[in-house]
């Protein structure tokens, strides 16, 4: 329980308001006690942004006698239905931070959740940039996060001494795979399609001032792309690498691979010349772009940078293939073009079931590697350039929508050819 005391003067009389901040279940509630009891202008402490505010109108469902519950707007998915609702502001647990979300990104995983992936219920979303309002810790090093712009690792590990996974600290295993973890906007923890979130302080990463909000939102998916390098599945000196899919994740993976010192330029195989063309713009970026003959409905006549190839010409051509399509057809093509004893990296989730034929994987002795969340530090470093081609991610934004218009933003994200959609709070 936290107690805040404020003395102020109204009509020549001094009053003392004692604001008691309690946890009732998972809801933050402020109780007001005042002396003397004469009618006066009330004030209360808004615990989330360190301001004294005058109460205006009551928020739906958030008034209690002599208590006010802090409320926010959020896009909630529940029992197969999704919509904007008024919900309580989350309360940070011990060693957590309360964060005001500035912008959130719409990810394909979010769209899959709306189709039933993971059976998640609550506030969806996991890509964000925000500002830390307060931390639930007395440590000086933790208090230094207040007012900083941040993004954050989405996996919230238990960190219990009895957890064998968490005991392996500072490893990708501990970062990504605690068996009792919650995952922001994906598993047992409300996400970023709301005005406020909470995250463990240890999950936070400071955003340098030179990175604007619209690009900082990309740090999480960019880190996921960096995970492929972190997993050391590619030999830069010898391997030929292909990425299947020219969507937002596929293009970010190509941005990372093109800056990773590969001897052979990475190849993206997609269907949209206009999207693949976004990878160009700096002569130091060397990439190969391919469209299959079966997909030549796209106008590639004037796009000399795109090669049209037959499916058969690509069979067993690549040492490492990254499937970023999230579709059964993309997985089948990825398998087909991976050489025997090569590596197939699965980088996108898919809620669609399909018949799975294991024969190609066994016959060609393929190594299948799942790839999830990656190192945020490495993603942030990419923005610093340090002699590498500058990273420009604004070109991948297809639309920006306010939280009030989030349903329009999600509809935009579902459109064929759409890249990143962002939501402002």
Segment 83-105 shows an average pLDDT of 97
User: Per-residue confidence at 315, pLDDT binned at 50, 70, 90?
Assistant: very high
Q: What's the mean per-residue pLDDT of the chain?
A: 84
CA gap 22, 18 in Å, rounded: 13
> Averaged over 298-304, what is the pLDDT?
60
**Shortest CA distance to 335 belongs to which of 373, 365, 313, 307?**
365
* C-beta separation of 99 from 132 below 8 A: yes
Q: What domains lie within the chain, and their CATH numbers? A: 2-69 (no CATH), 72-218+393-424 (3.90.180.10), 225-377 (3.40.50.720)
Helix ranges restricted to H, 218-310: 219-230, 248-257, 273-276
Q: How many CB atoms lie within 10 A of CB 393?
A: 25
- Tell which residue, 260, 265, 240, 242, has the closest CA to residue 319: 240
Q: Are 294 and 300 in contact (CB under 8 A)?
A: no
Specify the DSSP class assigned to residue 94: T
Q: Compute CA distances 39 → 3, 13, 32, whole Å.
A: 22, 11, 13
pLDDT band, very low/low/confident/very high, at 348 (cuts 50, 70, 90): confident
In angstroms, the CA 420 to CA 425 distance is 16
pLDDT digits (tens, 9 = 90+) for 328-341: 899 999 999 999 99
Backbone angles phi, psi at 97, to 5 degrees: -115, 145
Query: What is this structure's pTM?
Result: 0.82
pLDDT 10s digits, 119-145: 999 999 999 999 999 999 999 999 999
Among 311, 229, 239, 237, smallest CA distance to 269 is for 311
SS3 135: strand
């Amino acid at each position: 329980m936290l107690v805040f005391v404020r003395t102020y003067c109204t009509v020549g009389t001094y009053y003392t308001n004692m604001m008691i901040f309690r946890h009732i279940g998972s809801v933050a509630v402020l109780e007001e006690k005042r002396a003397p009891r004469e009618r006066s202008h009330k004030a209360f402490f808004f615990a989330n942004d360190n301001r004294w505010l005058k109460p205006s109108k009551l928020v739906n469902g958030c008034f209690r006698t002599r208590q006010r519950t802090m409320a926010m707007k959020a896009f909630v998915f529940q029992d197969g239905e999704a919509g904007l609702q008024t919900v309580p502001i989350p309360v940070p647990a011990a060693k957590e931070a309360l964060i005001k979300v500035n912008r959130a990104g719409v990810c394909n995983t979010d769209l899959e959740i709306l189709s039933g992936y993971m059976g998640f219920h609550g506030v969806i979303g996991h890509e964000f940039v925000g500002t830390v309002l307060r931390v639930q810790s007395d440590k000086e090093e933790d208090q230094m996060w207040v007012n900083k712009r941040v993004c954050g690792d989405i996996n919230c590990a238990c960190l219990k001494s009895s957890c064998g996974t968490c005991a392996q600290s500072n490893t990708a295993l501990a970062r990504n795979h605690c068996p009792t973890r919650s995952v922001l906007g994906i598993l047992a923890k409300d996400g970023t399609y709301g005005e406020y979130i909470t995250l463990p302080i240890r999950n936070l990463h400071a955003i340098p001032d030179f990175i604007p909000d619209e690009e900082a939102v990309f740090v999480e998916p960019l880190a996921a792309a960096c995970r492929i390098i972190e997993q050391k599945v590619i030999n830069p000196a010898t391997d030929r690498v292909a990425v299947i899919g020219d969507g937002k994740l596929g293009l970010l993976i190509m941005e990372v691979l093109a800056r990773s010192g590969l001897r052979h330029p990475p190849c993206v195989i997609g269907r949209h010349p206009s999207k693949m063309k976004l990878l160009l713009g700096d002569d130091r970026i060397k990439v190969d772009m391919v469209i299959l003959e079966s997909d030549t409905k796209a106008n590639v006549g004037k796009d000399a940078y795109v090669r049209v190839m037959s499916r058969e010409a690509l069979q067993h051509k690549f040492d490492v293939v990254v499937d970023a399509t999230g579709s059964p057809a993309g997985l089948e093509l990825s398998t087909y073009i991976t050489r025997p004893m090569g590596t197939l990296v699965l980088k996108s989730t898919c809620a669609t079931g399909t018949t799975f034929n294991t024969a190609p994987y066994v016959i060609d002795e393929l190594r299948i590697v799942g790839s999830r969340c990656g190192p945020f530090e490495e993603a942030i470093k990419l923005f610093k350039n340090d002699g590498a081609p500058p990273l420009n991610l604004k070109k991948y934004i297809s639309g920006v929508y306010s939280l009030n218009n989030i349903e329009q933003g999600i509809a935009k994200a579902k459109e064929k050819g759409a890249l990143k959609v962002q939501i402002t709070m």
